[in-house]
Amino acid sequence: MNGVLLATLLLSAGPAFEVRTLDGRTVNGELTGLDAAELTLTTAEGEAKLPVESLLTLSPKAPPKSPEQPPAARIELVDGSSLAAAEYAVSDGDAKVKLADGLEAELPVARVANVRFGEQTSALAEQWARLLATGATNDLLVVGRNEVLDYHKGIVRDVTEEQVQFEFEGDVLPVKRSKIYGLIYYRPPAGALPEAACGIVDASGSRWQARSLSLSDQLHWETPAGLSLARPLASIRKIDFSHGKIVYLTELEPETLDFTPFFGTAKEVPVIAEFFGPRTNKSLSGGPLKLGQKVYENGLALHSRTEITYRLPGRFSRLKATAGIDEAVRPHGNVRLVVRADENVLLEETLTGEDEAPLAIDVDLTGARRLSILVDFGDKTDIADHLDLCEARIIK
C-alpha cells in the first residue's frame, strides 16, 4: 500500500478476523501478524499469509456494539472523514469532539468542513447537499423549519452545547443551538491532500480516512489532513483497503454514449434518447434494480441499442458484474450483450426475460485502456429490452 506503515504484530492469542480479498476469497482466522506487505492469520488449516495489496476488507468476527443513542452531530472533516459525535464544541479555534461511543478527540477547527446537528430526511438531505456545493466564500449558519433549510452568511466563532457565536456584518450574535440545523465552514482552496490508503469504521459509526496505519497495543492512524488517532483494536468495525482497487462503473463518467432507436428517425430526437437513456442505481421503469428475487443498490439500467464506453482510470485486471433482464418486464426482453476491452471482444451473450438465472460476468481487462459495453437488439425488436448491469465494477 502506498505510504501505509503497518508495524509487525505477533500475538499469542489474537482476535478472530474475517478477511476478504480482491479475488473473491474469504479467509477466517486469528490475527497473528500484520506489516507493510503482509497480513498473517492462523486458520483451521494452518498459517495463511496474504499480501496487503490483495486485501479488500479486514473485520472482526465479533464486531463491537453500536452506541445505544444516535449521534447528536455528524461532523465531516476536510479529508472526507465523517464522525458520529455525541458532542461538538469549539473554543479559540480548537474543536473538541466526543464520539458517539465516548472517545474524545481534539483538533483544529480548520480541519472541520461542516457539522450537521439536525436529523436527516430525504428532503433535507437534498437541500443540505446543495448548500455544501454552493461554493460560498463565507461560513454558513444553516437553520431549518418544516423541512425547509435557510442560511445566513458570516463567520462561525465559538460553539457550546447551548449556543453558537456567529459574526454577522461585524456583530457577534449568540444563536441558540436548538435553532441550528448545521454549520458549513468556508475553506479556501488549498493544495491536494495526501491520498487515503484505506478507510476505518469504528464502534461509534465514524468513518475515518487513513493515510497510514500502525498496530501495537492499539491501532494508530493518521488522516490525510494530519490528525493522529489511536483506538483499541476491539473498537474497530472494519478496515477497508479497497480504496482505488475497486471502481464501480456508476462512479465513472462515460467517454462516449450512443443510443440508436429500433425504428430510426430522419433526425435525432433528443427526447427519445433521454427517455431510453441509461439509468444509474434504478431500473428503466423507475423502480429498484431487480434480477430474480434480489434487489441491487448499485448498477446501470441500459436499453437496446445502447453502447457506452469508459476510459479506464488506471490499470485494472478484471470486470465483474451481474447482468439480466429486469424483473419488472420479465418474461419479455431479448438483448445481445457485448463487452469489449479496447477492440477485443471479451464476452458476447444473448440474455432474455425467460432466462432462469442472471449472468455472472467476470472477464480479464489486463492491459486495456478502454471498456465498451453494447446492449444490442435481440430477436424480438426492442420490446422490454431492459438490461440491468448490477454491481458492475473494475478491479485492480
Q: Give the pLDDT confidence of 166-175 residue by residue, as tens digits.
A: 999 999 999 9
For the stretch 239-285, pLDDT in tens is 998 877 888 999 888 888 888 887 664 445 455 555 678 999 999 98
What mean pLDDT do residues 71-99 have? 95
What average pLDDT does this structure show over 139-145? Answer: 94
Q: What grid cell was written down for 253?
A: 463518467
The Cα 115–Cα 85 span in angstroms is 10
Specify the range with the lowest mean pLDDT, choosing from 5-9, 318-322, 359-363: 5-9
| Residue 13 or 392, more confident | 392
CA angle 85, 86, 91 (to 5 degrees): 80
8 Å CB contact between 114 and 182 = yes
**φ, ψ dihedrals at 353, nearest 5°:** -70, -5
> Residues 6 or more apart from 162 whose CB is under 8 A from it?
176, 177
**Window from 68-72, 93-97, 112-116, 211-215 with minimum mean pLDDT:** 211-215
- Mean pLDDT across the chain, nearest whole number? 88
Task: Determine the pLDDT at residue 355.
Answer: 95
Tens-digit pLDDT profile for residues 330-371 = 999 999 999 999 989 999 999 999 999 999 999 999 999 999
Q: Greater confidence, 85 or 243?
A: 85
Lookup result for grid cell 442505481:
281
Per-domain residue ranges of the chain? 73-184, 247-395
C-alpha cell at position 307: 453502447
Amino acid at 296: Y
pLDDT for 216 equals: 77
Mean pLDDT, rounded, for 123-149:
91
So what's the pLDDT on residue 155? Answer: 97
The per-residue pLDDT for range 17-53, each reduced to its tens digit, is 999 888 778 999 987 777 667 888 899 999 999 988 8
Binning pLDDT at 50, 70 and 90, where does residue 219 land?
confident
Check residue 3 and give its pLDDT.
Answer: 39
Of the given ranges (102-106, 275-279, 302-306, 325-329), which has the lowest mean pLDDT?
Answer: 275-279
Report the predicted TM-score, pTM, of the whole model to 2 decimal places: 0.69
Question: Would you state the pLDDT for residue 198?
Answer: 86
* Mean pLDDT within 313-322: 90
Average pLDDT of the residues in 313-329: 92
At 327, list the grid cell.
424483473
Per-residue burial over 47-83, b if 16 or more Cβ lie within 10 Å, else e, is ebebebebbbbbebeeeeeebeeebebbbbbbbbbbb
- Of the candidates 195, 239, 256, 268, the residue with the CA atom closest to the CA atom of residue 63: 239
CA distance 335 to 7: 52
- For 247-395, CATH gives 2.60.120.1060
